[in-house]
Structures are given as structure tokens and as C-alpha cells.
Amino acid sequence: MEILKLIKDRYSTVLFSSEPVENERLSLLFEAARWAPSAFNEQPWRFIIGIKGNDEKYEKLLTCLVEGNKYWAKYAPVLVLVVTKKNYTHNSLINNSAMYDAGLAVGNLLVQATRSGLFVHQMGGYNREIARNEFNIPVNYSPIAIMAIGYKGNSEDFPKELQDREKRIRIRKPYNDMFEFD
Ligand SMILES: Cc1cc2nc3c(=O)[nH]c(=O)nc-3n(C[C@H](O)[C@H](O)[C@H](O)COP(=O)(O)O)c2cc1C
């Protein structure tokens, strides 16, 4: 028995093709995210989508990134900031599941992306304060991660450093570590 091919085939590429992502295909990623489960069905996730060449949002998202991420993410045609609402809408109380729910939504998006031949590389390496200011994110929303989205490019079109990074062996902790505290 094997895990789903869609889970196995996903990985965080650093070789993004500049080929644009069709609007319909991109929309499908967010439709997949929309159907994620969430505490009280709050659906606290929000997405700020920047498409290269479309508007200033892409450039703004790029400027938020730390240099190490900008180095490879600048090739991606789409950048998305994931934000979550920190309080419940029905009673204003803190939603302790807000991050978890947003992660579930992105998990759906990742599966759909792989199915659509797209790659997604998430980044925590960006300046949250700049992001908050640039996009006027209200105080009761938290910026979580920026995702680079696109098709994979041809290895030979990229700097050697990125070609080498792409070839790195992907590793995971041993299976049993998931069930123990260290
Ligand atoms: C929330 C989050 C933040 C991440 N931040 C970065 C980042 O700033 N830069 C980067 O190159 N990769 C980043 N990654 C990618 C991880 O390093 C990567 O998912 C992990 O090494 C496993 O590799 P895989 O996605 O290819 O399976 C991030 C991933 C997640 C989920």
C-alpha cells in the first residue's frame, strides 16, 4: 500500500517557470481551499493574490520577502499571502483554531495544485509588518505565509545554485517520532 500519488508528488520547488497560470486553473486552487473544514465553519483564511504583470500586489508581496526567498520566488508568476482571522465572527472570541484552519485550507490547495500540474512553495521568511502595512491588514487578522505558485521551469534556465538546491534529497523524521514527545 502506498500514500496518494498527489501527496507523494508534491514538493517545494525553487525552479518556477515564468509561464503564467491560467485564471481558471488558479481559481480552482482557491475553490479547493474553500471546501476545507474549520472550527464553527468560520473559514478564517483569507488570500491576497498577486499576479506578475497584473497589478502592484505582486511587486508588494515580492518586497516583503527576505532576500533568500526573493532569489528564487521572483521567477514565480503568482505570489499569495495567506492571512487568518483571529476571532470568531459570531461572538468575537479568540479563535484558537484559526491557524489550524488556514493550514487545512492550504493543504487542500496543495493537493489541487499538484493535480493541476502546479507547484507551490510556502514561505515564512518575509516581513510581516511590511505586509500588514502594504495591504492594510486589520489587527484581528494575522498574516501567516506567502506562497509562490506556478509551473516548474527547465532546470538549465536557472542559476547553478538553484539547480543544486532542487536536487536536494527530501527527508522526514522517522515515522514513530510523530507519536512521541522529545
Ligand atoms: C509555513 C511554512 C514556511 C516555510 N518557509 C519557507 C521559507 O521561508 N523559505 C523556503 O525556502 N522554504 C520555506 N518553507 C518550505 C519548507 O522548507 C519545506 O516545505 C520543507 O523543507 C519540506 O520540503 P517539501 O515541501 O519539499 O516537502 C516553508 C514551509 C512552510 C509550510
pLDDT tens per residue, the chain (182 residues)? Answer: 999 999 999 999 999 999 999 999 999 999 999 999 999 999 999 999 999 999 899 999 999 999 999 999 999 999 999 999 999 999 999 999 999 999 999 999 999 999 999 999 999 999 999 999 999 999 999 999 999 999 999 999 999 999 999 999 999 999 999 999 99
pLDDT for res 19: 98
Query: Does residue 3 belong to any structural domain of this protein?
Result: no
Cα within 13 Å of Cα(49), Cβ side: 13
Range of the domain at 109: 24-164
Has residue 99 been placed in a domain? yes
* Cα distance between residue 130 and residue 78, in whole Å: 19
For 152, the grid coordinates are: 516548474
Measure 92 CA to ligand 1 centroid, in angstroms.
32
Residue 13 lies in a domain: no
Count CB neighbours of 13 within 10 A: 22
DSSP annotation of 77: S
Stated as kind and residue range, the H or E segment containing 26 is helix 23-34
Instruction: Give domain status of residue 11, yes or no.
Output: no
Ligand 1 pocket residue status of 123, Cβ below 6 Å: yes
Classify residue 22 by its DSSP letter. Answer: P
Q: Which residues lie across from 82 on neighbouring strands?
A: 47, 145
Backbone dihedral region for residue 53 (phi beyond 0: left; psi -120 to 50: alpha; all else: beta): left
Reported pTM: 0.98
The count of other CB atoms within 10 Å of the CB of residue 117 is: 10
Classify residue 17: in a domain, yes or no.
no
CATH number of the domain where residue 72 is located: 3.40.109.10
Domain count for the chain, please give it: 1
Q: Which of 16, 6, 3 is nearest to 153 (CA)?
A: 16
**Digit-coded pLDDT (tens) for 53-69:** 998 999 999 999 999 99
d(CA 17, CA 76): 6
Residue 179, domain member (yes or no): no
Residue 122 near ligand 1, beta carbon < 6 Å: yes
The answer to whether 122 and 144 are in contact (CB under 8 A) is no
Q: How far is the CA of 120 from the centre of ligand 1 (A)?
A: 10
CA–centroid distance, residue 108 to ligand 1 (Å): 16
Using a 6 Å cutoff on CB, does residue 69 contact ligand 1?
yes
* Helix H or strand E encompassing 63: helix 56-64
CB 20 less than 6 A from any atom of ligand 1: no
DSSP 103-121: HHHHHHHHHHHHHTT-EEE
Q: Is 21 strand, coil or helix?
A: coil
Q: Is residue 173 part of a domain?
A: no
In a domain, residue 131? The reply is yes
